[in-house]
């Protein structure tokens, strides 16, 4: 299993490195480093066919978003010189970084603030935004998510730093066979506190996700900065801990599959691929709202403004292309309306058809101040130890 959160990337359909076009040294190239499985190969092929000019497309898949963020950092570091550079050439299996940054890179929304603060990426210019014919079709929340000031904070008067192309959420998944004798089925976070589920839940081992769902159950925000202002939080978290049998960000679904737990909480990108293989599993998006993650296109600092970058971003938002990305990678589309029911297999339908009411109640996990992060980590560690 691949972890999917604000710490690491998601798994999905495999995409081998694609070199599409002639190999002429004089030919224009368009280089993209993307999260593996986040764009189907046939979508890239359709993009090439849509171009009037023949160009060489280099799409390089990377396993985790964390690695893509590190690549952005590497591009901004000075190259080694002199003796160090000479001897590095003889280190076997050493990974070399390209001298010129890619035109576009996949980045998770949680990493966006850090990328802006560290000057790893550059904003999309206003002239480019005006040329994106599908920008206006994005829901307002997506435009707000990527509009930030130079410190990476949300700012409606700021610059546009990224372009979302797919998204997912934190969901509840349960084994219908284990719950068949119960008169209810999990529909919201509050159901996880029911007596029948004591010591029957496996969850991701992430403080923001677990404390966040408890906050959501209490009607508060995932992005609450001062946890001390929520008097019932610790008691609710202790009660929830009694329900949890297993914490793991890598293996939280295995106990559910083998029947050791009855319910799990995790990321849709982990869970959706399993639904067809294990028909006893059912996934639901909590009615009171949940945490949302998004994959974004960003332009590295130093990359030249390329016409093809804007064309590619707009292509991903095309009404006939965006639903295909959603359907083939089993994620959600930022373009409305979403994929039609007839295009989705039954196990994924409720997850990939966006419910506007639930979406409005859901939240992106925003970067918090270091003091707030310390509060989350300390409280999470304290509760798990008891």
Lowest mean pLDDT among 241-245, 302-306, 313-317: 302-306
**Pairwise CA distance, residues 110 & 236, whole Å:** 26
163 and 176 co-located in one domain: no
> Looking at residue 100, what is its pLDDT?
58
* Judgement on whether residues 150 and 26 belong to the same structural domain of the protein: yes
Q: Which of 160, 245, 237 is nearest to 203 (CA)?
A: 245
**Strands 291-300, 121-122: pairing kind:** antiparallel
| Euclidean distance between CA atoms 215 and 196, whole angstroms | 22
Q: What pLDDT does 276 receive? A: 85
Please count the other Cβ atoms lying within 10 Å of the Cβ belonging to residue 233. Answer: 19
Whether 378 is covered by a domain: the verdict is: yes
pLDDT of residue 42: 95
- Residue 123 is given by DSSP the state P
pLDDT tens digit string along 4-61? 444 333 333 344 445 444 444 567 889 999 999 999 999 999 999 999 888 899 999 9
For residue 27, the domain's CATH number is 3.40.190.10
Integer Cα distance of 197 and 202 in angstroms: 10
Instruction: Tell me: do 141 and 282 sit in the same domain.
Output: no
Same domain, 213 and 255: yes
pLDDT digits (tens, 9 = 90+) for 69-113: 999 999 988 655 544 444 444 444 334 444 557 999 999 999 999
pLDDT at 86: 46
| Residue-level pLDDT at 346 | 52
pLDDT at site 333:
87
In a domain, 10, yes or no: no
What pLDDT is recorded for position 81?
Answer: 52
Residue 89: inside a domain? no
Domain that holds residue 177: 169-291+364-385
Indicate if 340 and 224 belong to the same structural domain.
no
Mean pLDDT of 278-295: 94
In a domain, 381, yes or no: yes
**Could you tell me if residue 2 is inside a domain?**
no
The one-character DSSP state at 94 is: P
Domain count along the chain: 2
The answer as to whether 348 is a domain residue is yes
Q: State the pLDDT at residue 312.
A: 96
Residues 52 and 155 in one domain: yes
Number of Cβ within 10 Å of residue 296's Cβ equals 27
298 beta partners: 105
pLDDT digits (tens, 9 = 90+) for 162-172: 999 999 999 99
In a domain, 253, yes or no: yes
The mean pLDDT of the chain is 86
Does residue 303 share a domain with residue 267? no
State whether 54 and 122 are in the same domain.
Answer: yes
Distance CA 376, CA 368 (A): 10
Residue with tokens 């009607």: 219
d(CA 24, CA 21): 9
User: Do residue 161 and residue 269 come from a single domain?
Assistant: no
Burial of 178: CB neighbours in 10 Å, binned 0-12, 13-18, 19+ = middle
**Domain for residue 51, yes or no?**
yes
Is a pLDDT exceeding 70 seen at residue 143?
yes
Higher pLDDT, residue 24 or 157 = 157
Please tell me whether residues 280 and 331 are part of one structural domain: no
Judge if 102 and 65 occupy the same domain. Answer: yes
Q: Following DSSP, what letter does each residue of 347-362 receive, concatenated?
A: HHHHHHS--HHHHHH-
CA–CA separation, 310 and 303 (whole Å): 13
Name, in order, each residue with C-beta under 8 angstroms of 49's C-beta and a sequence gap of 6 or more: none
Taking a C-beta distance cutoff of 8 angstroms, is the pair 245, 260 a contact? yes
Give residue 347's pLDDT. Answer: 52
Question: What confidence tier does 304 reach under pLDDT thresholds 50, 70, 90?
Answer: confident
Predicted confidence at residue 305, as pLDDT, reads 85
Taking the alpha carbons of 270, 273, 275, 277 in that order, is the dihedral positive or negative? negative
H or E segment and range at residue 129: helix 126-131
Do 272 and 339 lie in a common domain? Answer: no
């Amino acid at each position: 299993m691949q972890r999917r959160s604000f710490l690491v990337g998601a798994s999905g359909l495999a995409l081998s490195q694609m070199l599409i076009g002639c190999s002429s040294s004089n030919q224009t190239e368009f280089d993209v480093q993307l999260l593996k499985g986040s764009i189907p190969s046939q979508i890239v092929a359709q993009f090439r066919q849509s171009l009037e000019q023949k160009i060489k497309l280099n799409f390089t898949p990377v396993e985790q978003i964390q690695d893509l963020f590190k690549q952005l950092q590497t591009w901004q570091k000075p190259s080694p010189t002199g003796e160090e550079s000479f001897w590095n050439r003889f280190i076997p299996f050493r990974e070399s970084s390209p001298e010129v940054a890619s035109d576009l890179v996949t980045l998770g929304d949680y990493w966006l603030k850090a990328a802006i603060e560290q000057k790893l990426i550059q904003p999309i210019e206003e002239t480019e935004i005006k040329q994106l014919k599908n920008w206006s079709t994005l829901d307002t929340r997506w435009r707000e998510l990527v509009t930030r000031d130079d410190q990476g904070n949300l700012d409606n008067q700021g610059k546009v730093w990224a372009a979302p192309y797919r998204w997912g959420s934190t969901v509840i998944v349960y084994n219908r066979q284990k719950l068949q004798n119960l008169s209810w089925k999990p529909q919201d976070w509050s159901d996880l506190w029911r007596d029948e589920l004591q010591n029957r839940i496996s969850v991701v081992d992430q403080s923001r996700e677990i404390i966040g769902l408890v906050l959501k159950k209490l009607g508060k925000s995932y992005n609450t900065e001062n946890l001390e202002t929520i008097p019932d939080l610790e008691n609710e978290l202790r009660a929830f801990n009694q329900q949890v049998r297993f914490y793991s960000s890598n293996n939280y679904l295995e106990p559910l599959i083998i029947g050791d737990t009855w319910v799990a909480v995790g990321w849709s990108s982990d869970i959706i691929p399993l639904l067809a293989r294990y028909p006893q599993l059912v996934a639901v998006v909590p009615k009171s709202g949940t945490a949302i993650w998004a994959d974004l296109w960003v332009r590295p600092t130093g990359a030249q403004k390329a016409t093809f970058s804007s064309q590619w971003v707009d292509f991903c938002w095309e009404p006939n292309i965006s639903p295909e990305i959603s359907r083939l990678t089993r994620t959600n589309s930022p373009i409305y309306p979403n994929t039609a029911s007839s295009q989705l297999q039954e196990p994924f339908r409720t997850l990939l058809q966006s419910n506007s009411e639930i979406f409005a109640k859901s939240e992106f996990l925003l970067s918090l101040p270091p003091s707030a992060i310390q509060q989350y980590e300390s409280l999470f560690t304290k509760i798990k130890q008891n």
